[in-house]
Amino acid sequence: MPVEPIVLAVLVVLAFLAGLVDAIAGGGGLLQLPPLLAFVGPGHALGTNKTASIFGTTAALVRYARHGAVRWRRVALVGPVAFLGSLAGSLGYLELVKRHARAVEPAFAVVFLVLAVDQVRRTLRPKAPAATPARPRVALGLAFAAAIALYDGIVGPGTGIFLFWAFTTWFALSPLEATGTTKAVNVLTNAGSLVAFVAGGAVLWPVALPMAAANLAGGLLGARSAIRHGVRLIRIVTAVACAGAAGYLLWRAFAAA
């Protein structure tokens, strides 16, 4: 599927911004996936998005690991569940595209809108930080991780935000540790999805590879910024990214009406 040079340039810029945002706060897919759905269609959008995202997520992970902000025991526990959940979700998505291609994109629009509105609501009504649990609740954490991984395989955007919440809530990690550990698990969810998408021929490589390079650069810069500036920057970028995605999706819905 040929893509116009100007469209590719826009996608590459958005991939850089998505890598930057995702490394800091998660949710970079909210910037990257909606334009891919619009320009390359549901058959190739998720596979192309995952190919780009795994490079940026891996680059961010290396930064966090060097800083000592990854809890590898948590990764070893959650990682296999995350990989298999994401693989199952992507296999289900590919089957859905085969059977109900026309219904997929409107369904995405609804999911994105709900995600965006929810995140803006949280941003506009800030709450006092919740106290860290006295002890981890591993069983609940694993259940949530499995559900998040399944979602990542089917849709994807917002996975980093959800994992961050799970690690701070159920695994008793600090915000910086949760962010670093999220990147490791997110690499595994991306890998699980890619097994399905590559095998199914659902990656548009001429678009995916330039976006991957841009996403990697954004991931490196974003992780460095998060480590240097801490939790305050994580929260600010999360708010801005979610508000921007909500505005984009609302405009798209009104334009199509």
pLDDT of residue 179: 86
Q: What's residue 164's pLDDT?
A: 85
- Count of structural domains, the chain: 1
Q: What's the pLDDT score for residue 77?
A: 96
The H helix count followed by the E strand count for the chain is: 9, 0
Report pTM: 0.78
Structural domain boundaries enclosing 132: 5-256
Sequence-separated (6 or more) residues with CB below 8 Å from residue 255: none
Q: Assess contact for 191 and 83: CB atoms under 8 A.
A: yes
How many CB atoms neighbour CB 241 within 10 A? 28
Structure tokens at 243: 């508000």
Cβ-based burial of 233 (10 A; exposed 0-12, middle 13-18, buried ≥19): middle
pLDDT at 40: 87
Q: What's the pLDDT score for residue 222?
A: 81
Q: Which residues of the chain have pLDDT under 70?
A: 1, 25, 98, 100-134, 226-257
The per-residue pLDDT for 82 is 96
Q: In sequence order, what are the residues at sequence separation of 6 or more whose Cβ sits closer than 8 angstroms to the Cβ of residue 47? A: 193, 194, 197, 198, 200, 202, 203, 204, 208
